[in-house]
Structure 1
């Protein structure tokens, strides 16, 4: 006889994933300094000590969240010849970079989530230390290797600056909501040309 009120065994992998998703949502919405382990624990319905057991410190949890997001390598998915147009359309027309990911969304939300987390926490000294230690491996080096050529590191940083600047602009203007469709199309066209020029030349 099975008792209806018998507790179900804890699924460690599912719990760990739930913690990771809750933390990702928190770091997307708030800066590193404003996210507490107890907040994440409350979102999942577990004890904060369990987060420490699975992930270690808050810094370790932050790194795990960044590792779970799309990184620079994923921005290069697709044909090289339409890189600029692809990225421009994702930033200008994509959804407003949601943090939740069901595994199906491969547009701006999925590919830019890590960037949004970085932007949220750019004012935090602790988060900046983590980002400065990992940004080359996470973004700049893969992009430079994909671009190729002796000046690839320079072009990679110029392209990254444009992408990040436009992403910040999207956040500040609520998805470029103040622009009409013709203006958005022109914005995407110009951004695509600038990005593609950095990749090709």
Structure 2
């Protein structure tokens, strides 16, 4: 977390972007209920009232953060033939987890924010309203074919479950390299089977 002590130059667009980035980092690493507007303001070096002026309520800021993240369609970037292998490696080896990463991690950032906030009553409404358009619908369209909605939900469940498992087990640190390789292999086979059905 970057904390700015110096006053921020007066540039509305830059300040708005800095607030959005700080909020994205906070929502990615903490649950909705644990994120405070004052904490975000302190991270950016602005007054909390300025956040309300630019974004409105905390819920409005949360929606703006989700809008700024890549959606589920970005998980399908790359070859269809190695989808399972790519996603399994990203999840098992932690290539998707850093929120500040603009590479592979950016593909899962929105999903990680949704997962971190799913336990919040206030955030749950937003999560339920937006998870279809942000994640399930793009994946269903990309999978296509017979039973695509079913296959997409199964694939999403596997992806989300493994992402949560990674968070709960400190990045699968208790597994040795051989076990991680085997887990990635099995996950890749399962995901690819759902895509290729």
Q: TM-score, normalised by structure 1?
A: 0.90
Q: What corresponds to 1:160 in structure 2?
A: 156
**Rounded Cα–Cα distance in structure 2 between residues aligned with 1:8 and 1:115:** 31
Q: What corresponds to 1:199 in structure 2?
A: 195
Partner SS, residue 26 of structure 1: helix
Q: What corresponds to 1:190 in structure 2?
A: 186
**Rounded Cα–Cα distance in structure 2 between residues aligned with 1:142 and 1:67:** 15
Tell me which of 134, 147, 161 is aligned to 1:138: 134
Partner SS, residue 178 of structure 1: coil
Larger radius of gyration: 1
Q: What corresponds to 2:57 in structure 1?
A: 57
What pairs up with 1:7-156 in 2 under 5 angstroms?
Answer: 10-95=10-95, 97-101=97-101, 105-107=102-104, 109-156=105-152
Q: What corresponds to 2:3 in structure 1?
A: none
CA contact (8 A) 2:89 2:95 kept: no
Deviation per residue, 1:61-96 (Å, 9 max, x gap): 001111112210100000111100010010011347
CA contact (8 A) 2:69 2:109 kept: yes
Provide structure 2 residue ranges, at least 5 long, that are not aligned to the other structure: 1-6
**Rounded Cα–Cα distance in structure 2 between residues aligned with 1:144 and 1:95:** 24
Q: CA deviation at 1:150?
A: 3.5
**Rounded Cα–Cα distance in structure 2 between residues aligned with 1:17 and 1:135:** 24
Structure 1 residues 86 and 9: alpha-carbon distance in aligned structure 2, compared to 1, 3 A threshold: closer
Q: CA deviation at 1:151?
A: 0.9
Provide structure 1 residue ranges, at least 5 long, that are not aligned to the other structure: 1-6
**Rounded Cα–Cα distance in structure 2 between residues aligned with 1:9 and 1:155:** 49
CA RMSD of aligned residues (A): 1.5
Aligned pair count?
191
**Rounded Cα–Cα distance in structure 2 between residues aligned with 1:149 and 1:165:** 24
Deviation per residue, 1:88-109 (Å, 9 max, x gap): 01001134711223xxx422x2
**Rounded Cα–Cα distance in structure 2 between residues aligned with 1:168 and 1:26:** 17
